[in-house]
């Protein structure tokens, strides 16, 4: 296990506790802390830890300013069959190393992607739907999480000269992981146990404001690496789209874009200008055609140089919310779930209209005037709109997808209503394994034309968020508190509520 360390303070406490408390015997794994010139009391603390535990080592190097060099130093010093890269402010599940290693040996894998739990960090859900073996870059979810917190065969890294770029730079993890993915003969996904808990800390490098010019110069290096290892064609285009949507389009839309416009409009404009230039330099209509509808609209505005249109779209997206309800029926130790959810706006509705065999987005008027008619056509891939159901642990925020097929219909107001009827089996609900004991919430994640939001599902009947409890024997039950009976309403209150409902229409 390789841990680059720089001035973590108490944020390293959980990591130290969990790396020393692994179910794998201590003599079967080593922990290499590489102190990158820390100026707090961490160096002395790590030295004391190494003196106390035979499987812990500490290496001190002058400050390099970024994790790449300490990770490389740690890799060179490692002696184990596999290496795992862990950041100093994250932490591990109790059985993480044991399960990671067992999966690697069972599949003879060069790389194992262990289930990641995001704490303030977004983790793509389809990647961890179930355990997988021998996946490749042809499987789209594989590249949706390029953080380095994975298990790598050490000899494989040495054979192909796979190392982290060093120096103060961004996306060094993308270069490293993609290099590994291109050369790996066997890649596995471990989805049935939360291995890695990925924390958002205010002081982390990824949290700091980035220099747009330097960041996107580093992104060009990632795109160059893809071109080096692929031929022109569908795979290269799909890979390019991942960075187009995640690193360019993400930054010219959504809540963060709207907030920056209010707090730092000059920086927002600078960021937009750099992204606009790169969008025309490395991406074109082929890539735009592979995007979900909402990002095709955003891409159209970006490529047309319509900064004001992007602001209008971001404001519209910012007021969208998910709403959903669930009816639960116990049956022979299982739970039958009947779920309905939608995305709606607090001020402006997300609505569509059927026009013959086409589906058209009913955009806000001020935005509709800025877009050509073809940009409002949401038909292509609209039938992929879906409703993801997620079990989320109240204890550690681990999430597991609940299998189920969604049905889609438009109501008379043009809202997309998504329904799922499925059965929850606690014996296999954790990515194919048993659901751990504890309290669980059920979340709904409707995705409509690419627009997506997540919300706790409310019990039907009632207004309480659903709470499920798994006991020590693996039995599951609906333990939602009952909704209090509503207070009697006077005629004047009933009239006011009726007027409000009519106004919302």
Residues 137, 176, single domain; the answer is yes
276 to 283, 305, 339: CA distances (angstroms): 10, 7, 41
In a domain, 473, yes or no: yes
Helix, strand, coil percentages for the chain (3-state, nearest 5): 40, 25, 35
Domain boundary among 318, 351, 386: 318
Residues 6+ apart with CB under 8 A from 453: 320, 321, 322, 343, 445, 446
**Rounded CA gap, 65 and 52, in Å?**
29
Residues 6+ apart with CB under 8 A from 332: none
In a domain, 412, yes or no: yes
DSSP code of 54?
A: T
Residues 281, 330, single domain; the answer is no
In a domain, 491, yes or no: no
Task: Convert 109-139 to b/e letters by CB count within 10 Å (16 or more is b).
Answer: bbbbbbbbbbeeeebebebbbebbeebebee
Do 137 and 181 form a contact (C-beta atoms < 8 A)?
A: yes
For each of the chain's 505 residues, which pLDDT tens digit applies? Answer: 999 999 999 999 999 999 999 999 999 999 999 999 999 999 999 999 999 999 999 999 999 989 999 999 999 999 999 999 999 999 999 999 999 999 999 999 999 999 999 999 999 999 999 999 999 999 999 999 999 999 999 999 999 999 999 988 899 999 999 999 999 999 999 999 999 999 987 644 444 578 999 999 999 999 999 999 999 999 999 999 999 999 999 999 988 899 999 999 999 999 999 999 999 999 999 999 999 999 999 999 999 999 999 999 999 999 999 999 999 999 999 999 999 999 999 899 999 999 999 999 999 999 999 999 999 999 998 999 999 999 999 999 999 999 999 999 999 999 999 999 999 999 999 999 999 999 999 999 999 999 999 999 998 877 789 999 999 999 999 999 876 656 666 666 566 666 566 655 5
Q: What is the pLDDT, as a whole number, of residue 495?
A: 67
In a domain, 489, yes or no: no
Task: Convert 181-216 to b/e letters by CB count within 10 Å (16 or more is b).
Answer: bbbbebbbbbbbbbbbbbbebeeeeeeeeeebeebb
Do 337 and 406 form a contact (C-beta atoms < 8 A)?
A: no
In a domain, 488, yes or no: no
Residues 196, 301, single domain; the answer is no
DSSP code of 139?
A: S
**Rounded CA gap, 190 and 131, in Å?**
5
Nearest to 193 by CA among 83, 86, 100, 84: 100
3-state secondary structure of 230: coil
Residues 56, 100, single domain; the answer is yes
Residues 165, 178, single domain; the answer is yes
Residues 417, 335, single domain; the answer is yes
In a domain, 140, yes or no: yes
Residues 94, 9, single domain; the answer is yes
Query: Does pTM top 0.85 for this prediction?
Result: yes
In a domain, 499, yes or no: no
Q: What is the pLDDT, as a whole number, of residue 502?
A: 61
**Rounded CA gap, 97 and 31, in Å?**
11
- Cα angle value 211/214/216 (rounded, 5°): 100
Q: What is the pLDDT, as a whole number, of residue 136?
A: 96
DSSP code of 110?
A: S
**Rounded CA gap, 263 and 370, in Å?**
25
CATH code at 445?
Answer: 2.60.40
In degrees and rounded to multiples of 5, residue 199 shows phi and psi of: -105, 145
**Long-range contacts made by residues 157-165, C-beta under 8 angstroms, separation at least 24?**
157/75, 157/83, 163/72, 163/75, 164/67, 164/68, 164/69, 164/71, 164/72, 165/68, 165/221
Count of domains for the chain = 3
In a domain, 43, yes or no: yes
Domain boundary among 206, 223, 250: 206
Residues 337, 413, single domain; the answer is yes
Do 103 and 190 form a contact (C-beta atoms < 8 A)?
A: yes
Cα 468 from chain centre: 24
Residues 313, 326, single domain; the answer is no
- Cα angle value 246/70/110 (rounded, 5°): 65
Residues 59, 174, single domain; the answer is yes
Residue 19: other Cβ atoms inside 10 A:
24
Q: What is the pLDDT, as a whole number, of residue 169?
A: 87
Q: What is the pLDDT, as a whole number, of residue 206?
A: 44
Task: Convert 422-434 to b/e letters by CB count within 10 Å (16 or more is b).
Answer: bebebeebbbeee
CATH code at 160?
Answer: 3.90.550.10
Q: What is the pLDDT, as a whole number, of residue 451?
A: 96
Show the domain range for 286.
231-318
Residue 320: other Cβ atoms inside 10 A:
18
Domain boundary among 318, 341, 370: 318
Residues 159, 74, single domain; the answer is yes
**Rounded CA gap, 441 and 478, in Å?**
10
Q: What is the pLDDT, as a whole number, of residue 483?
A: 61
140 to 104, 239, 262: CA distances (angstroms): 21, 8, 35
Residues 270, 167, single domain; the answer is no
Q: Report cis status (omega within 30 of 0) of the bond before 394.
A: no
9 to 92, 149, 256, 444: CA distances (angstroms): 18, 21, 29, 37
Q: What is the pLDDT, as a whole number, of residue 505?
A: 56
């Amino acid at each position: 296990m390789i841990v680059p360390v720089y001035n973590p303070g108490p944020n390293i406490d959980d990591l130290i506790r969990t790396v020393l408390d692994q179910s794998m015997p201590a003599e079967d794994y080593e922990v290499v802390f590489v102190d990158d010139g820390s100026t707090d009391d961490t160096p002395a603390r790590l030295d004391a830890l190494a003196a106390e535990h035979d499987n812990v080592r500490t290496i001190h190097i002058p400050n390099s300013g970024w994790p790449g060099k300490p990770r490389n130093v740690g890799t060179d010093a490692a002696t184990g069959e596999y290496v795992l890269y862990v950041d100093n402010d994250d932490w591990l599940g109790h059985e993480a190393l044991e399960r990671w290693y067992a999966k690697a040996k069972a599949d003879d894998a060069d790389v194992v992607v262990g289930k990641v739990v995001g704490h303030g960090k977004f983790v793509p859900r389809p990647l961890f739907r179930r355990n997988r073996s021998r996946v490749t870059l042809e499987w789209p979810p594989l590249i949706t999480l390029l953080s380095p917190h994975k298990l790598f065969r050490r000899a494989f890294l040495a054979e192909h000269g796979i190392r982290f770029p060093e120096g103060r730079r961004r996306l060094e993890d993308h270069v490293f992981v993609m290099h590994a993915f291109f050369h790996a003969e066997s890649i596995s996904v471990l989805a049935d146990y939360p291995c890695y808990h990925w924390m958002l800390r205010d002081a982390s490098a990824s949290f700091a404001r980035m220099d747009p010019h330097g960041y996107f110069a580093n992104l060009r290096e990632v795109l160059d690496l893809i071109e080096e290892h692929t031929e022109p064609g569908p795979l290269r285009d799909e890979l390019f789209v991942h960075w187009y949507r995640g690193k360019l389009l993400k930054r010219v839309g959504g809540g963060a874009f709207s907030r920056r416009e209010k707090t730092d409009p000059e920086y927002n404009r600078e960021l937009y200008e750099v992204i606009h230039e790169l969008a025309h330099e490395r991406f074109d209509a082929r890539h735009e055609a592979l995007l979900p509808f909402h990002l095709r609209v955003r891409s159209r505005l970006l490529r047309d140089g319509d900064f004001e249109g992007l602001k209008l779209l971001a404001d519209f997206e910012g007021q969208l919310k998910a709403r959903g309800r669930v009816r639960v029926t116990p049956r022979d130790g299982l739970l039958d779930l009947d779920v309905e959810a939608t995305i709606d706006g607090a001020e402006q509705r997300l609505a569509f209209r059927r026009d013959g065999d086409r589906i058209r987005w009913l955009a806000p008027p001020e935005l509709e005037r800025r877009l050509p008619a073809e940009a409002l056509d949401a038909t292509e891939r609209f039938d992929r709109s879906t409703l993801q159901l997620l079990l989320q642990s109240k204890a550690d925020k681990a999430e597991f997808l609940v299998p189920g097929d969604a049905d889609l219909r438009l109501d008379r107001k043009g809202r997309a209503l998504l329904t799922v009827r499925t059965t929850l089996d606690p014996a296999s609900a954790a990515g194919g394994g048993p659901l751990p004991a504890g309290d669980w919430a059920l979340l709904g994640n409707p995705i409509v034309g690419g627009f997506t939001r997540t919300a706790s599902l409310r019990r039907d009947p009632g207004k309480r968020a659903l709470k499920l409890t798994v006991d020590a024997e693996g039995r599951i039950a609906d333990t939602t508190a009952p909704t209090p009976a509503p207070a009697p309403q006077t005629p004047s209150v009933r009239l006011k509520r009726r007027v409000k409902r009519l106004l919302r229409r």
